[in-house]
Chain A
Amino acid sequence: MSTAKKGDWVQIHQIVLKPEERAPQVPDDTKQVPLELWVKGYALTEAKVGEQIEIETATGRTLKGELTVINPKYIHTFGEFVPELLTVDRQVKEILFGGEK
């Protein structure tokens, strides 16, 4: 499903500043890339992913941008397991309760 219908919850993308428009104090690596923006809202028009779409945000603002995702999900998690943390657990318990003088 890569077409958003009117009323779908979507995320859009905009280029705020092109590389050549970036502020003078920005470091060189950042000057090579545009300033980009993402925001979510209800689709006011129909569009395919990658096409321009108009949305209404949670505060009621109307915005245009490139449709990136329909029903955008949260992707952050607890990450990969980090076994080093178990080592910390064991170490502090051993120092405190393990009979070390």
Chain B
Amino acid sequence: MTIDNSYAAVTGRKNEIMKKAIGIDYSIFESEGIGFDYERMMREAGYTLEEIQKIQSEVSVGNTPIIELKNLTALARKMAPKGKGARIFIKDEACNPSGSFKARRAANAVYHAKKNGYKGVIAATSGNYGTAVASQAAIHGLKCIIVQECYDSKMVGQPEILEKQRACEALGAEVVQLTVGPELFYTFLMLLEETGYFNASLYTPFGIAGVETLGYELAMQFREKEGRDPDVVMVTHAGGGNVTGTARGLIKAGAENVKVIGASVDLSGLHMASDQAFNKKSFTTGHTGFGLPFATWPDRADVPRNAARPLRYLDRYVLVRQGEVFYITETLAVLEGLERGPAGNTSLTAAFSVAQEMDEDQIIVVQETEYTGAGKHPMPQLSFAKANGIDVRFGNPNEEIPGESIILPEHPSMIKIRDFDLNKAKHSYIRNSITNNNVKVVSKEDLAFLAKDTKSDEQFVINALTEMGINIK
């Protein structure tokens, strides 16, 4: 009997395919209604911090240096009121084997796959995570397939993604490239079913736990270097794993008073599944096209329960513009001698602005950098934008319209974060929890879960539910 490989049939087999491909029975963490036992899932399906440190150190992942950006700090102080301008530090995650913090997630996922007897790993990603999985698969001798959303219908690819294809292939992986569309998931499911490989999802408990070492390490490094915890940790926010893992690691280090601020590039107005809009953007990650949907509905991921739950951990969420990130990327190169990014410099751009609100003796840390190279650099990305009809010019970044213009700030004093109202995101999350779970009444347990999952309190959730006309049991 042949298997029905129609779109409807394959996506209909999603749950059984995923169960085999991840090996976690998520149902044991479920409770009735909306909630599930998140901490139990992280504890029982993941690894302890000590285990992860061991797994990562054996493949030379982690223990990346902290660099104080003295010139960038001095530049920020030129723009700041007297006495303001916190010291800006960066954690140079580009020093990981695959050139980004994603090596931490991949190290765990691939280790887990190997330990459980899988012959290979598959990941659906157009980002640095693909390179990270390919790198770890090479180390562990596993086969590797990376599924990328890469081209528009004219087979024009984002230079940043083409570079990641090259890197994955250089590390021995098979790269399956697709045109734009959410049906990538269909191809992904078919590949999992065909190969029996492990789904090295970004969103499993072990993937997220892999990032915990970053937050933990960072706290320890500051205690050693400065004798105290930093005041703010800035995290580029896309799918939520970077925020979640880093914040959990900080908490495990006892650095609970550190403020965790997420930053994304503002790409509002661009439809992420649009063939025509695909090459109108200059960032393929770290942007609001992932940041908002994943914050307001994390369980949209390729696993039944997403271990990345950014609203649980974010203290503040800020947006920056594409032109500002390119400006700061260039500044990092010429003032600090570090060619990194650009996408990973989203949080650095925000930090440059947030530092100006903080006192001079305070510390703000940008917790990642990423490698740079052909395709993945301000020059190819800006010239690609120009070739796609984007108006690249100097001006006021506030006037930048995603998909139409990229405005490099006329002066660095114009680099300003825009606060995204987290309460709005929390309301959307609560609304999505009600709609997607199709519930009419919310139990006391769910109330507590929603409060926890939105880093709010029960009264906040009750108010939100009342607005929606939902009763509490």
- Which residues of B are found within 8 Å of A29, using beta-carbon distances? 274-276
Taken together as a complex, chains A and B put the C-alpha atoms of A57 and B122 apart, in Å, by: 14
Question: CB-CB < 8 A to B163: which residues of A?
Answer: 76
Would B335 and A61 count as touching, CB distance under 8 A? no
Count the A-B residue pairs with Cβ separation under 8 angstroms: how many?
Answer: 160
A16-B183, A95-B75 known; A59 vs B334 contact (CB < 8 Å): no
CB <8 Å contact, A36 and B386: no
Which of B7, B157, B387, B394 touches A21 (beta carbons < 8 Å)?
B7
CA distance A93 to B331 in the complex (A): 9
Contact count band on B: 35 or more
Interface contact A89-B276, CB-CB below 8 Å: no
What residues on B are CB-neighbors of A16 within 8 Å? 178, 183, 186-187
Is the Cβ of B7 less than 8 Å from the Cβ of A17? yes
B382 CB within 8 Å of chain A: yes
Interface assignment of B228: CB less than 8 Å from any CB of chain A = no
Q: How far is the CA of A38 from the CA of B175 in the complex (A)?
A: 8
- Cβ contacts A34-61/B at 8 Å (1 or 0 each): 1111111100000000000000011111
B67 within 8 A of A: no
Chain A 66-90: CB-based contact to B (< 8 A → 1; otherwise 0) = 0000000011111111101101110
Whether A91 sits at the interface, judged by CB under 8 Å, is yes
Minimum C-beta distance from B176 to chain A (A) = 5
Q: Which residues of B contact A61 (CB under 8 A)?
A: 174, 194-195
A88, B273: Cβ atoms closer than 8 Å? no
Contact A81 B379 (CB under 8 A): yes
Q: Does the CB pair A77–B380 fall under 8 Å?
A: yes
| Cα-based distance from A78 to B183 in the complex (angstroms) | 31
Q: How large is the interface on A (under 10, 10 to 19, 20 to 34, 35 or more residues)?
A: 35 or more
> Hey, which chain B residues are within 8 Å of A79, CB to CB?
159, 379-384
Max count, chain A CB within 10 A of own CB: residue among B163, B327, B392: B327
Return the CB mask of B47-74 against A: 1 if under 8 Å, else 0. 0000000000000000000000001001
Task: Give the chain A neighbours of B166 by CB distance below 8 A.
Answer: 74, 76
Pairwise interchain contact B331-A92, C-beta atoms closer than 8 A: yes
A1 within 8 Å of B by Cβ?
Answer: no
Q: Is B472 an interface residue (CB 8 A)?
A: no
Q: How far is the CA of A58 from the CA of B142 in the complex (A)?
A: 12
- Interface check B429, CB cutoff 8 A: no
In the complex the two chains form, what is the Cα distance from A79 to B387 in whole Å? 10
Closest to B377 in A: A78
Q: Does B153 contact A (CB under 8 A)?
A: yes
Q: Could you say which of B166, B169, B182, B411 has the most chain A C-beta atoms within 10 Å of its C-beta? A: B182
- Pairs of residues from A and B, 3 with the lowest C-beta to C-beta distance, nearest first: A79-B383, A79-B380, A76-B375
A-B contact pairs, 11 of them (CB 8 A): A17-B183, A25-B182, A25-B273, A76-B159, A76-B163, A76-B380, A78-B375, A80-B379, A84-B408, A88-B331, A93-B334
